Amino acid sequence: MLKGKFPLEKFKKIPTPFYYYDIELLRETLDTVKAEAGKYNYQVHYAIKANANPRILSIIADYGFGADCVSGGEIRAALDAGFPADKIVFAGVGKADWEINLGLDNDIFCFNVESAVELDILDELAREKNKVARVALRINPEVDARTHAKITTGMKENKFGINLSLLGSVLDQLSGLPNVKLIGIHSHIGSQITDISAFRGLAIRMNEIQEELDKRGITVEHVNFGGGLGIDYDHPNHMAIPPFDNYFAAFHKLLNVRPGQQVHFEPGRSLVAQCGNLISKVLYVKEGEVKKFAILDAGFTELIRPAMYDAYHRIENISNDEAVEVYDVVGPICESSDVFGKEIELNQAHRGDLLALRSAGAYGEVMASQYNCRQLPMAYYSDEL
């Protein structure tokens, strides 16, 4: 969506801040993912943690994708949105008993298991229901994702997954758990990865892991690489759809797939980030001694990524095309970290101007909070305004 394509006159009638979703771009992205994954018969499960907006979920479910869930609440959201239970995978380092039972009761496709102790609990709970839980072992492959430290997940110092050095003992443990069935192996090395070579390294490491399984006479039906493909936060207007062709091709080129084996992916951000925008109003333009501040009615309660990760989001003044000035763009929250960007070039800002914070479709609405007793914003859609 190019600047100037926002329905400004309609926006003026809507209380700010609010989330605005470009449904046409979402569908174009989903079409691309389906086509590129379909070239290799890869299975796609949308990572609900990126955006759990019910309308967004229902559209993704309609494309036939599965769901990747990390909580019982997400399993419920997936089922409510129309994702079939036999396409739901459940990951998470700390699954509560009720969450596991919810998955068992609905016969979900797979539990991505992250520790030896979790296997024991899963076997116990499945036995109480006279069920057999299908599991994939989440393995830390020791592949550097070369991304932000707070969203790196595949190293041995991370809380997630089973370290490679422990894999043998966990496989031995499985032989004594009759209510757990090993159907796959799983890895997820991090998020917002823009260097495709990290995924090449993951494919090679998965080959090595499967060779170790071969030595034990174990062949799994499913191999799951998680998600992690990044987006272009700098150029949302011109790079709206990530390079899914290169992403899936990297695995196809290097992965040694066993006969009948299915390959799974769990993208989140790459499907929904660029279709979402946070629209906010300028409350004040504050002249400091050394800086000029554009103070918005949105804060980190509506988009926490800049405060949490020092993340960049392109910010556009969609109300005018006046000369560019430099601002620190900040929110109203009573915290010094409530800053969307420093020294941001904007068309001259005035009280009442509407600003668009781009690429907010992932980890925007889903992470919104009511800190400072703020109300949660509404969401609007391009095909309904």
DSSP string, 159-199: SSSEEGGGHHHHHHHHTT-TTEEEEEEE---BSSB--HHHH
Bridge partners of 380, per DSSP, are: 20
- pLDDT, tens only, 125-171: 999 999 999 999 999 987 755 544 443 444 445 667 899 889 999 99
DSSP 8-state code for residue 133: E
Residue found under tokens 């020294």: 343
Antiparallel, parallel or unpaired: β 324-330 and 354-357:
unpaired
Distance, CA of 361 to CA of 277 (rounded, Å): 6
| 3-state secondary structure (DSSP) of residue 284 | strand
% of the chain exceeding 70 in pLDDT: 95
- Closest by CA position to 358, among listed 316, 329, 317, 328: 316
Distance, CA of 111 to CA of 104 (rounded, Å): 9
- pLDDT, tens only, 99-122: 999 999 999 999 999 999 999 999
Quick one: residue 292, left, alpha or beta (phi over 0 = left, psi -120 to 50 = alpha)?
beta
DSSP string, 87-117: GEEE--TT--HHHHHHHHHTT-SEEEE--HH
Distance, CA of 158 to CA of 156 (rounded, Å): 5
Quick one: residue 120, left, alpha or beta (phi over 0 = left, psi -120 to 50 = alpha)?
alpha
% of the chain exceeding 90 in pLDDT: 90
Distance, CA of 298 to CA of 373 (rounded, Å): 13
Average pLDDT estimate for 338-366: 98
Distance, CA of 245 to CA of 315 (rounded, Å): 28
Rg of the chain, C-alpha, whole Å: 22
Distance, CA of 356 to CA of 274 (rounded, Å): 12
Q: Which helix (H) or strand (E) holds 73?
A: helix 72-81
Angstrom distances, CA of residue 18 to CA of 143, 329, 330: 38, 17, 16
The pTM (predicted TM-score) of the whole model is 0.94
pLDDT at res. 157: 56
- pLDDT, tens only, 277-334: 999 999 999 998 889 999 999 999 999 999 999 999 999 999 999 999 999 999 999 9
Structural domains in the chain plus CATH codes: 8-18+274-381 (2.40.37.10), 23-272 (3.20.20.10)
